[in-house]
């Protein structure tokens, strides 16, 4: 875990300089997710989506984490927020991944 801790500290330093840095917010969320700290990961993904609503990978990852926590309702809500953003921004690959998640939940 020392590498993860180092990366988390570096990303936190970036956020101190720029609290809305999309790269740092997403990176920090993914570091927490890889450490199985899903609640912290979701918290940073929420900050990311608030700071940059067009960062559609944030919606996908947040929905996945909600599913890992067994919260299908929150996952569906996140997907429903992310799908239109993916279309608006032309991020069709992420839109397809969001749709696959929605189909898996609904199906």
Query: pLDDT tens for residues 32-77?
Result: 999 999 999 999 999 999 999 999 999 999 999 999 999 999 999 9
Q: Which CATH architecture has domain 2-106?
A: Alpha Horseshoe (1.25)
Distance CA(13)–CA(80), nearest Å, equals: 32
Give the residue from 16, 32, 71, 25 showing the smallest Cα distance to 46. 25
pLDDT at position 15 is: 94
pTM score of the predicted model: 0.93
pLDDT at position 35 is: 94
Domain boundaries, the chain: 2-106
Give the residue from 2, 64, 52, 1 showing the smallest Cα distance to 25. 52
């Amino acid at each position: 875990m020392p590498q993860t801790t180092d990366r988390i500290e570096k990303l936190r330093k970036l956020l101190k300089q720029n609290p809305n840095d999309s790269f740092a917010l997403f990176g920090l969320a993914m570091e927490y997710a890889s450490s199985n700290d899903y609640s912290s990961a979701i918290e940073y993904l929420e900050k990311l989506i608030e700071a940059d609503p067009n960062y559609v990978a944030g919606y996908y990852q947040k929905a996945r984490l909600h599913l890992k926590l067994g919260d299908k309702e929150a996952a569906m809500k996140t997907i429903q927020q992310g799908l239109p953003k993916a279309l608006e921004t032309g991020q069709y690959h992420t839109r397809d991944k969001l749709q696959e998640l929605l189909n898996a939940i609904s199906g």
